[in-house]
Amino acid sequence: MADNNIYELASLYQRGLSDQLGPFSAYLAGQAASDIVLVKGICGPIELAGGPPFSGPDSAAVSAALASLGWGEDNWCGVLTQPSHQAKLSDEELRLIIEVIDPQLIIGMDQAAGISIAAALSYQGPEGLYADKGEGQANNQQAEIKFDDNKPPRAINAGEPIQYFNRQILVLSGFEAALSDDLAKQKVWAQLKTIKR
């Protein structure tokens, strides 16, 4: 009986994800119920020719890399911010996708994706946040973290993982492009190994 309830809840969860992410299906690949969101800002050759997101060699390669790092082979949902046949996702749309999936880890597959992630999440670096020491402090409550609205989003440097609102974020220097260059592949692999599990 308990197993049936678990399966029913899992099914409802999957349907809820499908309903919320349905309008963005042309931008997505992989599993919606995942611990990892991969954001890709630059189309590969297959995608440029009209193929679906993550339909190039990067899909199998990133699955294998994540599995070897202990995350599981199919534990990711990929987002292509601008497929060749679609309008670019807005910052708000990318943020919605990320929040609906609610991943533990966000990987920018290239530096263009890193810019999109920073803009979508309003990343301003640690110095862009401040604690409101008003009433919360007086009542012995935790200070509320607020954004400095006068600061623009800041780029997330490739290869330098950050922790941002309980999520790890790592931007790679160019995953798909590195697959055909041994030196670049080693660099991206070293970047991936900085992820904490």
CATH code: domain of residue 182: 3.40.470.10
Claim: this prediction has a pTM higher than 0.75 = yes
> Would residue 127 count as lying in a domain?
yes
> Would residue 6 count as lying in a domain?
no
Domains in the chain: how many in total?
1
From first to last of its 197 residues, what are the pLDDT tens digits of the chain? 455 555 554 555 566 677 888 899 999 999 988 999 999 999 999 999 999 999 999 999 999 999 999 999 889 999 999 998 889 999 999 999 999 999 999 999 999 999 999 999 987 765 544 444 444 444 444 444 444 555 556 778 899 999 888 899 999 999 999 999 999 999 999 999 999 88
pLDDT of residue 174: 95
> Would residue 18 count as lying in a domain?
no
- Supply the angle between the helices 2-21 and 91-101 in degrees, to the nearest 10: 180
> Would residue 82 count as lying in a domain?
yes
- Supply the angle between the helices 111-120 and 91-101 in degrees, to the nearest 10: 80
Domain span including residue 33: 24-192
DSSP symbol at 29: E
CB-based contact 118:155 (threshold 8 Å)? yes
pLDDT of residue 88: 95
E strands of the chain, at which residues? 28-30, 36-40, 76-80, 105-108, 129-132, 144-147, 162-164, 167-171
